[in-house]
A and B are shown apart, each in its own frame.
Chain A
Amino acid sequence: MSKDNPVIAEIRRETGSGTDLWSVIISPSIWALHFLVCYVSAAIYCQKLGRDAPLSDIRVLVIAVTVLALGGISWSSVRLWRVHDRSLTDDDFEYEHNTPEERHRFLSHVALMLCVLSAVAIIYVTIPMLYLDSCR
């Protein structure tokens, strides 16, 4: 039987496979990695080159990492967004029914909102790099 078989799709929905706890923490983990890369690389850069060093080189790296991180979060968001139009029980934001499908939609909602939060936090963290000039 192929993947597009409606019977299988139905079973999947009911057992609600897909979003688990690990995929919920993907986006905040991306934030954490982004944060560490920015902080560690800037700290080493400034320590090794001295306080007068311009930030231009490291800025390129930080922006590149930011683009990469936001890209990863977008990918995760698109995947999670698709869960929205699959509800069999109801379409509200309560997720209070006792079915695997509700659990699945609940975790997807949490994960999606964490994507937004992580993206905002990533942008916040990048801002200082955009207007500071040197390691001082």
Chain B
Amino acid sequence: MTDKRAQTEQLAKVWDNPRGWRALSDVNNSIVGLWYFAAAFAFMLFGGALALIIRMQLFVPDSTLVTAEFYSQAFTLHGTVMMFLFAVPIFEAVAILILPGMLGARDLPFPRLSAFGFWCYLIGGVFVCGSIFFNAAPDAGWFMYPPLSTEQSGIGADIWLLGLSFIEVASIAAAVELIVGVLKCRAPGMHINLTPLYGWYVLVVGGMILFAFPPLIAGDILFELERLLDWPFFDVTRGGDPILWQHLFWIFGHPEVYIIFLPAIALLAMIVPTFAQREITGYSWIVLSALGTGFLSFGLWVHHMFTTGLPSVSLGFFSAASEAVAIPTGIQIFAFIATVMLGSVVRSVPMLFCLGALAVFIIGGLTGVMVAVAPFDFQVHDTYFIVAHLHYTLIGGMLFPVMAGVCYYYPLIMGKELSRAYGIWSFWLMLIGFNMAFLPMHLTGMLGMPRRVFTYGADRGWTELNMISSIGAFVFAAGFLLLAWDCVRPKRHQRDVPRNVWNAGTLEWAARFGNTWGMRSIPEINSRYPIWDDKDFLRKIDEGEGYLADAKEGRRETLVTSVLDAQPIQVLRVGGPGWLPMIAAGGLGAVFIFMTFKWWLPMGLGGVVFLVAVLRWLWTGTAEIPEKKTKDIGGGKRIPLYVSGYKSTGWWAMFITMTGDLTAFLALLFGYFFFWTIHPDFPPADMFGPGWFWPALAGVLILVAWALTFGARLLNSSGQSGLARLFLLLAALATLGGGLALMAGPWTTGLDPTAHAYPAIVWALVIWILAHLATGMLMQGYGFARLLYGKATPTHDADLWNITLYWHFAAFSGVLTATVIGGFPYLT
């Protein structure tokens, strides 16, 4: 028994949180998740306060409470904050907080990446929100349509673009972390058909982020190039087109709605079975509908653009897809209702919020089916009908489920119970207040009140409806604040909750409050609800009969398992507390923030800090060669401590990152062909660049660089590390040559990017590839140094695998760019 106590103490010591001011260097998911959560809620309160200002202004006609200018800033920031700083990050926060527990992992595979993402998010969010106190907030609506946003002189649009681009980094970091977490860090025996539904949703949403956010990043780049350097992508007088922005924005913007909705509804999939005291009905149906929704949601973006004058057949395609997405969405909701009906429901606050969520969301879904019909949309486009619709979907589909999740998981995370009375009051205030605020807006919209107007005349007949809405908004806010107060009020005198307070069946409830490492030992999983199905389950965990019951080497460790059947394949040593993620985020933040003000020197310094921090982080903390080959994890199993290639988490992280990167590149390429479709002659007759020679040379050199990099990995694994180093050096030279040749094309033919959209898009593509080649060169140099210093060897070659993987993607984009800019002008 003392042996077991010593093990527990060792685990506690290894996973101990840093204290005092060093607490900020923490990277553990249970702490970073909590920070994330708190920050998201703080931003939510800020966004909510803006909404109340909006409602106060609209309370009476011809109101002079705020100026039109301030009103524009308020609604722009309200939308921006709620979407980018609350709805998406709250998903990341909740997932980082509870996903490892659900999967039976001790932490996520890349804890420092989570911390990095959090700091990026916090810095970017404060920057964007803070602008309103200097009367400099963005004011062109949350989707920033040009030409309004490109032509107006304020700095607000830059703050929006750069601040949000920076926050998108955090989202993509979270996507990488969570996808790898779900695929590779499930407890042994947790086959893919036993994975908690929340994990499935996170997987789908992670995948969606990779295809949805990058087009926005590409759009942001074009937009900022226009703002900063006057490259006319969206300027009609010089061959640009504002519709391009709308496409790029909504290719992001519509999937984003489902990126917000799915992880919130995933909480229902965890909560409903617990309070119905039975397993979920139609597990496989819910999985397929999550997957189906994920895919179909990418075929909806033009329904935000029904009134831009596209051919009616295009509208038809998107209208049809918009109706089709109702099918999988409906399946999920029916599955939840069926679970409630078949079980015996325990009355509780989380369950109230779940049912409220279903009711509100269904109303929002139904108006969604209405506005998916193009002719109806023509009538209500940009009116309060749309405002009502989107709030019903977002509050029913995201806020209520998240509230349910807060009430449900609060005891697990904080160890205390929330007040039942407060919860019930809060729910009814929110439900009644919400419907009072937004139900009348359907009518206000039908009566013709447009969105985004700062006031209206008394003769319009909108007065009473607006009054009701405003009162409802305050009732709603009161309900929300009541719950917020219940969460933060001191509870020192309240007794601690017992373990698994709701009698849930899923793995996360096996953890004891206060353990940052999750469970005492990692169990073998045999069913979807192990706590219900195996009465001996908790005892086995607590007595250390599972895996990794000890941390003998004093390292933080978690298990990596195979994707489908969750067979243990590696003991992964994850990072402990450290300042590098925060420093790296600070450096990157400086780049984005100073760029807004065009302070080039501090911006450059920020870039250097970022680069040095990241390199140091990689050099000291990744692909470390362990002191022994394998480790006994208990249960008579010995598994490796080091793996490389597609067995490793690092390789998957690179693969996922580069998939997102490729999407951004394809979005830029889409811009090129978009300009071709709208111009009768493209390239314009008087522009001859970049010719075929330089692009062709660039393509060949990039291919050579790729082949040499690939060759270096093969040579190294056959034992010839010296030759591999030489290959990497030559590859770096070829990369340099390829970059110069690519630049020479438009340079020597005098393509002026400010003259017309054609040279601008060519240059944008070239710059994108140059940045990737520069990164690729850095990686070749890094691989060279790793080999030189013995940090990578023929048997420990994870670095080289990852570099090669990067190069597969970089070479593909590079060669494709060379082919398009060099070859396409000869086809037209």
Interface residues of A, Cβ cutoff 8 Å to B? 16, 20-21, 24-25, 28-29, 31-32, 35, 38-39, 42-44, 46-48, 51, 55, 93-96, 98-100, 102-103, 106-107, 109-110, 113-114, 117-118, 120-121, 124-125, 127-129, 132, 135-136
B192, B292, B312, B564: the one contacting A132 at CB < 8 Å is B312
Whether the Cβ atoms of A21 and B564 lie closer than 8 Å is yes
Tell yes or no: B824 within 8 A of A by CB.
no
- Report the bound CA distance from A132 to B528 in whole Å: 49
Whether the Cβ atoms of B313 and A55 lie closer than 8 Å is yes
Instruction: Return 10 A-B CB contacts under 8 Å, by A number.
Output: A31-B295, A43-B314, A44-B677, A48-B677, A95-B284, A98-B189, A113-B285, A113-B288, A125-B321, A135-B311
Q: Which residues on B sit within 8 Å (CB–CB) of A20?
A: 564
User: Contacts A47-B678, A95-B193, A129-B316 hold; do A117 and B311 have CB atoms under 8 A apart?
Assistant: no
Q: Which residues on A sit within 8 Å (CB–CB) of B192?
A: 21, 103, 106-107
Whether the Cβ atoms of B324 and A124 lie closer than 8 Å is yes
Whether the Cβ atoms of B321 and A121 lie closer than 8 Å is yes
Whether the Cβ atoms of B317 and A38 lie closer than 8 Å is yes
Q: Which residues on B sit within 8 Å (CB–CB) of A94?
A: 283
Q: Smallest CB–CB gap between B416 and chain A, Å?
A: 34
A16, A43, A117, A136: the one contacting B292 at CB < 8 Å is A117
Q: Which residue of B lies closest to A125 (CB)?
A: B320
Whether the Cβ atoms of A117 and B288 lie closer than 8 Å is yes
Whether the Cβ atoms of B191 and A100 lie closer than 8 Å is yes
- Report the bound CA distance from A93 to B193 in whole Å: 12
Whether the Cβ atoms of A103 and B313 lie closer than 8 Å is no
Q: Which residue of B lies closest to A39 (CB)?
A: B317
User: Contacts A103-B565, A117-B292, A135-B311 hold; do A32 and B299 have CB atoms under 8 A apart?
Assistant: yes
User: Contacts A32-B295, A44-B677 hold; do A102 and B193 have CB atoms under 8 A apart?
Assistant: yes
How many A-B residue pairs lie within 8 Å, measured between CB atoms? Answer: 134
Q: Which residues on B sit within 8 Å (CB–CB) of A44?
A: 677
- Report the bound CA distance from A47 to B319 in whole Å: 20
- Report the bound CA distance from A95 to B285 in whole Å: 11
Q: Which residue of B lies closest to A38 (CB)?
A: B317
Q: Which residue of B lies closest to A43 (CB)?
A: B314
Count chain B CB atoms within 10 A of each CB in A43, A120, A136 and give the residue with the most.
Answer: A43
Tell yes or no: B730 within 8 A of A by CB.
no
Q: Which residues on A sit within 8 Å (CB–CB) of B295?
A: 25, 28-29, 31-32, 118
Whether the Cβ atoms of B313 and A109 lie closer than 8 Å is no
Count chain A CB atoms within 10 A of each CB in B194, B295, B321 and give the residue with the most.
Answer: B295
Whether the Cβ atoms of A124 and B528 lie closer than 8 Å is no
Instruction: Tell me whether chain A's interface is mostly helix, strand or loop, or mixed.
Output: helix
Whether the Cβ atoms of B564 and A136 lie closer than 8 Å is no
- Report the bound CA distance from A55 to B192 in whole Å: 46
Whether the Cβ atoms of B311 and A110 lie closer than 8 Å is no
B299, B316, B327, B564: the one contacting A103 at CB < 8 Å is B564
Q: Which residues on A sit within 8 Å (CB–CB) of B319?
A: 128
**CB 8 Å contact bits of B563-585 with A (1 = contact, 0 = none):** 11100000000000000000000
Q: Which residues on B sit within 8 Å (CB–CB) of A29?
A: 295
List of 4 A-B pairs having minimum Cβ-Cβ separation, nearest first: A128-B316, A106-B193, A28-B295, A124-B320
- Report the bound CA distance from A117 to B299 in whole Å: 14
A21, A31, A114, A132: the one contacting B316 at CB < 8 Å is A132
Whether the Cβ atoms of A110 and B296 lie closer than 8 Å is no
Q: Smallest CB–CB gap between B305 and chain A, Å?
A: 12
A28, A132, A136: the one contacting B291 at CB < 8 Å is A28
Whether the Cβ atoms of B316 and A113 lie closer than 8 Å is no
**CB 8 Å contact bits of B301-331 with A (1 = contact, 0 = none):** 0100000001111111111110110011000
Whether the Cβ atoms of A128 and B317 lie closer than 8 Å is yes
- Report the bound CA distance from A44 to B315 in whole Å: 14
Q: Which residue of A lies closest to B528 (CB)?
A: A96
Q: Smallest CB–CB gap between A44 and chain B, Å?
A: 5
Q: Which residues on B sit within 8 Å (CB–CB) of A135?
A: 311-313
Q: Which residue of A lies closest to B324 (CB)?
A: A121
Tell yes or no: B526 within 8 A of A by CB.
yes
Whether the Cβ atoms of A42 and B317 lie closer than 8 Å is yes
- Report the bound CA distance from A118 to B291 in whole Å: 11
Whether the Cβ atoms of B323 and A124 lie closer than 8 Å is yes
B282, B292, B315, B527: the one contacting A98 at CB < 8 Å is B527
- Report the bound CA distance from A35 to B317 in whole Å: 8
Q: Which residue of B lies closest to A121 (CB)?
A: B324
Q: Which residue of A lies closest to B203 (CB)?
A: A21
Interface residues of B, Cβ cutoff 8 Å to A? 189, 191-194, 279, 282-285, 287-288, 291-292, 294-296, 298-299, 302, 310-321, 323-324, 327-328, 525-528, 563-565, 677-678
Q: Which residue of B lies closest to A42 (CB)?
A: B313
Q: Smallest CB–CB gap between B304 and chain A, Å?
A: 15
A21, A98, A118: the one contacting B194 at CB < 8 Å is A98
- Report the bound CA distance from A16 to B562 in whole Å: 14
Q: Which residues on B sit within 8 Å (CB–CB) of A136?
A: 311-312
Whether the Cβ atoms of B291 and A25 lie closer than 8 Å is yes
Q: Which residues on B sit within 8 Å (CB–CB) of A25?
A: 291, 295
Q: Which residues on A sit within 8 Å (CB–CB) of B282?
A: 93
Whether the Cβ atoms of A47 and B677 lie closer than 8 Å is yes
A99, A109, A127: the one contacting B320 at CB < 8 Å is A127
Q: Which residues on A sit within 8 Å (CB–CB) of B313?
A: 42, 46, 55, 128-129, 132, 135
- Report the bound CA distance from A35 to B526 in whole Å: 40
- Report the bound CA distance from A43 to B321 in whole Å: 16
Whether the Cβ atoms of B677 and A110 lie closer than 8 Å is no
- Report the bound CA distance from A125 to B296 in whole Å: 11
A28, A43, A107: the one contacting B193 at CB < 8 Å is A107
Whether the Cβ atoms of A32 and B311 lie closer than 8 Å is no
Q: Which residue of A lies closest to B680 (CB)?
A: A48
Q: Smallest CB–CB gap between B667 and chain A, Å?
A: 13
Whether the Cβ atoms of B291 and A96 lie closer than 8 Å is no
Given known contacts A55-B313, A124-B320, A125-B317, what 5 new A-B pairs fall within 8 Å (CB)? A93-B284, A98-B526, A99-B191, A102-B193, A128-B312
Whether the Cβ atoms of B296 and A114 lie closer than 8 Å is no
Q: Which residues on A sit within 8 Å (CB–CB) of B292?
A: 28, 114, 117-118
Q: Smallest CB–CB gap between B237 and chain A, Å?
A: 20
Whether the Cβ atoms of B316 and A95 lie closer than 8 Å is no
Q: Smallest CB–CB gap between A88 and chain B, Å?
A: 15
- Report the bound CA distance from A101 to B413 in whole Å: 36
Q: Which residue of B lies closest to A114 (CB)?
A: B288
Q: Which residues on B sit within 8 Å (CB–CB) of A107?
A: 192-193
Whether the Cβ atoms of B291 and A24 lie closer than 8 Å is yes
- Report the bound CA distance from A44 to B677 in whole Å: 6
Q: Smallest CB–CB gap between B324 and chain A, Å?
A: 4
- Report the bound CA distance from A42 to B317 in whole Å: 10
- Report the bound CA distance from A57 to B291 in whole Å: 34
Whether the Cβ atoms of A35 and B194 lie closer than 8 Å is no
Q: Smallest CB–CB gap between B462 and chain A, Å?
A: 34
Q: Smallest CB–CB gap between B417 and chain A, Å?
A: 31
Q: Which residue of B lies closest to A55 (CB)?
A: B313
Q: Which residues on A sit within 8 Å (CB–CB) of B315?
A: 128
A31, A46, A100, A102: the one contacting B311 at CB < 8 Å is A46
Whether the Cβ atoms of A46 and B564 lie closer than 8 Å is no
Whether the Cβ atoms of A35 and B299 lie closer than 8 Å is yes
Whether the Cβ atoms of A117 and B191 lie closer than 8 Å is no
Q: Smallest CB–CB gap between B655 and chain A, Å?
A: 13
Q: Which residue of A lies closest to B325 (CB)?
A: A121
- Report the bound CA distance from A24 to B298 in whole Å: 18
Q: Smallest CB–CB gap between A82 and chain B, Å?
A: 18
- Report the bound CA distance from A29 to B344 in whole Å: 39
Q: Smallest CB–CB gap between B122 and chain A, Å?
A: 34
Whether the Cβ atoms of B316 and A110 lie closer than 8 Å is no
- Report the bound CA distance from A107 to B314 in whole Å: 34
- Report the bound CA distance from A117 to B564 in whole Å: 24
Whether the Cβ atoms of A43 and B677 lie closer than 8 Å is yes
B283, B563, B678: the one contacting A96 at CB < 8 Å is B283
Q: Which residue of A lies closest to B374 (CB)?
A: A128
